[in-house]
Amino acid sequence: MANSYMTKQLMADSLKKLMEKIPFSKISIQNIVDGCGITRQAFYYHFQDVYELLGWIYNNEAIYYLEQHKTYENWKEGYLEAFRYIEKNKAFCMNTLHSIGRDHLERFLFANTSNSLKQIVDEISEGTKISEEYKKFIVDFYTPALISLVAKWMEENMKEKPEYIIEKIGFLIDGTIKQAIIRFEEKHR
């Protein structure tokens, strides 16, 4: 299993290096395998296509931070690390944004961000009688806002410091989810 991960990481590193100079849409599987010394057959053993490899990279590198910080107490740390990942891998991330488009990137991020937010909402609402439907509504409300902030920040060339963005997001979110749950529960007693 470790060997499989290492092979995937070799392909990921090759793709990221290529994306520093070449648009994602112009990169072939052959380019990737030539860059890391494996065969096309090995590529197809691990991934169906270049998009799946791209998703694997984001899941194992950027989304990893969200997965490690899925509690109400530490969600800011996870988002801050995700922003820092984007800064550190600017060429790769900007190439992704411009090559596959904002809509595709947002759909990918939506699934992962909503999962993280769902766990936070579940934690905050523990012990309440709030419906799953309303919890889903809260997650669906906040997820696009967070995704749009990331995409807008990237489109504006990442000028604002991630720490400042997270601080502002914290001002908006801290306490508001809990208050929404309390108000909903009070209204539906």
pLDDT in tens, 58-76: 888 877 676 777 677 888 8
Residue 188: burial class (beta carbons within 10 Å; 0-12, 13-18, 19+):
exposed
Confidence band, pLDDT 50/70/90 cuts, at residue 172: confident
Residue 66 lies in a domain: yes
Q: Which of 43-47, 74-78, 106-110, 150-154 has the highest mean pLDDT?
A: 43-47
Residue 84 lies in a domain: yes
Residue 160 lies in a domain: yes
Residue 43 lies in a domain: no
Residue 22 lies in a domain: no
Residue 173 lies in a domain: yes
Residue 34 lies in a domain: no
Residue 103, pLDDT > 60, answer yes
Mean pLDDT of 46-67: 84
Identify the domain containing residue 159 by its residue range: 50-187
Confidence band, pLDDT 50/70/90 cuts, at residue 26: very high
Quote the pTM value: 0.81
Question: Phi and psi (nearest 5°) for 174?
Answer: -55, 120
Residue 12 lies in a domain: no
Say how many domains are in the chain. 1
Do 121 and 173 meet the contact criterion of CB atoms below 8 Å apart? no
